[in-house]
Structure 1
Amino acid sequence: MSVSYSIPTAARTWTLALFALAGCASPPDDSGDGTLNTTSTDSTSVADTSSSTTGSTTAVDPTTGPLTGDTLATTEELTSSTTAESTGVLPDDPGPECDPWTQDCPEGQKCMPYAGDGGPSWNALKCVDVAPDPDGLGEPCTVVGSPVSGLDSCDEGLMCWDVDADTQMGACVAMCTGSPDEPVCADPSTHCAVSGGGALILCIPGCDPLDQPCPDGDVCIPNPDDPESFVCAPDVSGPEGQTFDPCEYVNECDAGNLCLPPVLAGECDPMILGCCLAYCDITQPNTCTGQGLECIPWFPEGLAPPTLETVGFCGLP
């Protein structure tokens, strides 16, 4: 899912636009074999929306659209002015790619995602030196030059996340372990979120979109790597993000809203990439605002995980 950073507040010059929309967020499908799956696409036009009957309501799959991918980016331009004195690692030319799941770099180094094309998104991997006296899980940390440089002060298996614009400091979060087929997060309150074509693998706090138990400045969005979970990601909406506002990324809407294809509401401009629509509780179906909008279940009937059975979104049936 292509994602980009924006500047939601003066306190942050970059934020995680986790789970970019290019297939937009999509509710899980019933694949027919008891498994769940999500879809993303790089198409440039809005595709027809499919639906499956779930009793008296319809579980709409608002997947396809001109929104793509799984790439995280930042609007902060990469700079070479910041030195690596604070971490002991230098932003020199990367060596061969590495595997973040196995951390197969030489001793004293770690496998890190970075912007391999010099752009604003994590899309490649490289070995970098682990900082002397590195910061541990949950501890404050610093980045070098840019959040997408691949250089930070965290220990092996950790990455500096949610960086403050003024201080260039964030907190070390765990990278997923296990494998792409069986990702593992040691903290049961987090979920593995994979983006950037598999370059970025992070254990992100889970949440309930109807309760929004995320830290201030974060929003609750679907996890593209695990259709049974929602995760917290920084709100990149800035002054926009209200219901029916345009958006490009799943976390570009205010808390309580989700960026979905504009075909799901008549109030949305059909020419935009995405449109902010509200989450809703399917047990309270008359809460949606907008002409003809109904509370549509996020999960097909019988496939919602515990505590998320009533999650829905406002859209055209």
Structure 2
Amino acid sequence: MSRRTPLLLLALAACSLRPHEFTASDATASGTTEPASTSDAAITAAPATGEPTGTSATTTTGEPAPATTTTGVGTSDSTTSNFITPLDGGPPGSECDSYAQDCPEGQKCVPYSGDGDLSWETLGCFDVVPRPDGEGEPCEVFESAVSGKDSCAEGLMCWDVDLDTGTGTCLALCGGSIEEPTCPDPGTFCAIGRVLSLCFPYCDPLAQDCEGGDLCVPNASGWQCILDASGEEGQVFDTCGYLNDCDAGLYCTPPEYGAECDQAGTGCCLPYCDTSLPNTCPGQGQVCIPWYEDGQALPGYENVGLCGVPQA
């Protein structure tokens, strides 16, 4: 199996879930396949209309955080905010602003690691290669996955890098500002972090249409593909602690939503469902609970639901 650069490991939110309102925890870029410290590689999602409520940020230090973690990303304070307090011009030591792309002509402003670990902790200006790769195209990194040096065009960075081949895919860095982020492709949404602010493609949780066996899971502003970390486990009613602990088509939710779940467990893998179809949920007393409240669904996601026992 190929090794990939830190992806989005999503910790199960600690707060309880109310009927018709399932929690999508914020994402953090953490070492899911490499034992590395991520001092500040966190990503949280920018607010958007139809955002699932009750989101909480998580932190990590290279190892998966406990499922009950609610500490604010990049800080030691507890928080439920989707935003990290912005720093003028980026984190300490940053040479540029990734939103403004204010580097000299022929260079681009991208996150990189300046201390030798496998994390991004600052922003710098790096040369744009001749005939650079465009958004969504394959790319390669030079020196390391966190060097800031890659084959992508200005405003893009090489993401989801295979550490064995040094190849990944060009994703757009968020434009606009941290207060009002933008993405050039309407099929993507902006996920904001202290260093990394990237435009991720939407995916379909009902179709599970991610490439390479990745999972389509919720982010506070949309649905995105992440690495499947379930291994041999992650089947219906299995105990889980992270959103990517479950197989494709399943979500790690509190165990009270399934009578067959281990009620002493951290979480339980339950299936997504289509609210427009007859109930096919596998558990006793389960119904297809709408993911979004009425009128709050993202366009195209109106029928997304999750199998669960309704909670009073």
TM-score by length of structure 1 reads: 0.67
> Do residues 315 (structure 1) and 311 (structure 2) align?
no
Shift of 1:309: 1.5
Q: Distance in 1 between matches of 2:103 and 2:211?
A: 34
> Do residues 59 (structure 1) and 20 (structure 2) align?
yes
1:200 is matched with which residue: 196, 199, 217?
196
Q: Distance in 1 between matches of 2:235 and 2:5?
A: 19
- 1:232 aligns to what? 225
Shift of 1:312: 0.2
1:113–1:282 CA distance, 2 compared to 1 (3 A): same
Matches within 5 A, 1:1-317: 10=1, 12-14=2-4, 17-18=7-8, 20-23=10-13, 46-49=14-17, 51=18, 58-62=19-23, 69-74=26-31, 75-77=33-35, 95-96=93-94, 98-114=96-112, 121-122=119-120, 124-133=121-130, 135-137=132-134, 138-144=136-142, 146-194=144-192, 197-224=193-220, 226=221, 229-270=222-263, 272-317=265-310
TM-score by length of structure 2 reads: 0.68
Shift of 1:126: 1.9
Task: Supply the RMSD in Å over aligned alpha carbons.
Answer: 3.1
Conserved 8 A contact 2:234-2:247: yes
Q: Distance in 1 between matches of 2:234 and 2:248?
A: 8
Q: Which runs of no fewer than 5 residues in structure 1 stay unpaired?
A: 1-9, 24-45, 52-57, 80-93
Residue identity in the other structure for 2:30: A
Shift of 1:201: 1.8
Shift of 1:77: 4.0
Q: Distance in 1 between matches of 2:146 and 2:12?
A: 20
Q: Which stretch of the first structure deviates more once superposed, 232-241 or 287-296?
A: 232-241
Q: Distance in 1 between matches of 2:115 and 2:144?
A: 14
Residue identity in the other structure for 2:127: V
Q: Distance in 2 between matches of 1:272 and 1:111?
A: 44
Q: List per-residue Cα deviations over 1:74-128 (Å, max 9, x = no partner).
A: 232469xxxxxxxxxxxxxx94364321123455543323467866554x32204
1:316–1:178 CA distance, 2 compared to 1 (3 A): same
Shift of 1:187: 1.8
- 1:36 aligns to what? none
1:166–1:257 CA distance, 2 compared to 1 (3 A): same
1:242–1:136 CA distance, 2 compared to 1 (3 A): same
1:281–1:126 CA distance, 2 compared to 1 (3 A): same
Q: Distance in 1 between matches of 2:110 and 2:170?
A: 13
Conserved 8 A contact 1:22-1:69: no
1:262–1:296 CA distance, 2 compared to 1 (3 A): same
- 2:75 aligns to what? none
How many residues are treated as equivalent by the alignment? 254
Shift of 1:48: 3.6
Q: Distance in 2 between matches of 1:207 and 1:155?
A: 24
Shift of 1:299: 0.5
Residue identity in the other structure for 1:184: T
